[in-house]
Amino acid sequence: MALCFFAFAIVLLLTLDSDSNSIPVSAASEGVQITYGSVIKLMHERSKFRLHSHDVPYGSGSGQQSVTGFPNVDDSNSYWIVRPTPDSSAKQGDPIKSGTIIRLQHMRTRKWLHSHLHASPISGNLEVSCFGGDGESDTGDYWRIDIEGSGKTWRQDQRVRLRHVDTGGYLLSHDKKYSRIAGGQQEVCGVREKRADNVWLAAEGVYLPVTESNILNERGRATTDPKEICTIFKHYYLHLFSSSYPFGIEEAIQDLEAKVTPGMKDQLYRSCTDEEVKRAVFEMDPLRSPGPDGFSADPIFLFPRFELKLGY
């Protein structure tokens, strides 16, 4: 069991986007928010089966990768990554509001939860499949999250419906089971009616905590405005090493033992030679951040044969 969990952790680290420093939250505690980038299992409320897929195509309909309801909790083929649509400005760690259109990517095969007008194998409803990949996705992968009750953002303990954007079908599972290739697994399909048996819950998984992008301005107020954030950072670093002109320094340090000898002081106060200035300038890293004047050391390295002309 420990080995399985370790293996899942390695896969998860390789799967999630690398631009987040968030620490994942276990789904053991109720009420955690589902955010973009979270890896979750979706449980069909009525049957308790998990939304599941595997690299087995349907023998009819579209012939795409099949999607089923799986009875066991500890199956790695039931993990889905919550993703935004390509045209969305949402980023990893952002919460998901009711009515938001999302995509669900199967963690193992990298294909998207998909639907269309093909008939499902058992009931003849709308077929639900897995299709595409990391660089291949279309509107057939779009699902609208509808939260039941008064909740505004998607949380683990909330009942939700997933409605397919293109077909209008609600994601559904029922007690009709496959008998051959996916023996014992339930059919998953889409139906256009809002019914009691098309309700789902977020179950096991790794939930990324909500990303907080607010910073405080000089008045202590939180801001998310990009221009104001840039101004705050610029002022911070401009004044980081500026003197506040304190007084009484001599009295404060008069009893401290001097560490700088007269010889060291003379060495520090002497004039710099031309060679020292040249060496210091050409040792600057060209890829460092620019200073307050907007320039970095890059221009120096555009002219490697440039001879410094010092005017003193």
Q: Please give the angle made by the CA atoms of 161, 164 and 170, to the nearest 5 degrees.
A: 45
Q: Does the residue 249 lie in any domain?
A: no
Average pLDDT rounded to a whole number, residues 161-187: 90
Residue 305: its pLDDT value, please? 44
Provide the pLDDT for residue 24: 56
Cα 280 to Cα 293: distance, rounded to the nearest angstrom: 19
For residue 286, the model assigns a pLDDT of: 65
Instruction: Return the pLDDT at 290.
Output: 66
Same domain, yes or no, for 233 and 307?
Answer: no
- Residue 3, pLDDT > 90, answer no
**pLDDT above 90: residue 173:** yes
pLDDT value for 155: 92
For residue 124, with 0-12 CB atoms within 10 Å meaning exposed, 13-18 middle and 19 or more buried, which class applies?
Answer: exposed
Domain check: are 302 and 170 in the same one?
no
pTM for the predicted model, two decimal places: 0.63
CATH of the domain at 148: 2.80.10.50
Are 189 and 224 contained in the same domain?
no
Is 19 in contact with 92 (CB distance < 8 Å)? yes
Domain identity same for 194 and 50: yes
Would 247 be classed as within a structural domain? no
266 and 226 both lie in a single domain? no
Domain that holds residue 230: 213-242
Q: Which two tokens stand for residue 58?
A: 């349907």
pLDDT at 133 over 60: yes
The count of structural domains within the chain is 3
Alpha-carbon radius of gyration of the chain: 30
Q: Is residue 272 domain-shared with residue 303, that is, in the same domain?
A: yes
Q: What percent of the chain shows pLDDT beyond 90?
A: 46
Task: Tell me phi and psi for residue 6, to 5 degrees.
Answer: -65, -45
- Which of 83, 46, 95, 52 minimizes the C-alpha distance to 70? 52
Closest CA to 129 of 188, 172, 202: 188
Per the model's pLDDT, the better-predicted residue between 194 and 25 turns out to be 194
What is the residue-averaged pLDDT of the chain?
A: 81
Tokens of residue 235, six digits: 């002022």
User: What is the tens place of the pLDDT at every residue in 69-89?
Assistant: 999 888 889 999 999 999 999
Give the 3-state secondary structure of residue 97: strand
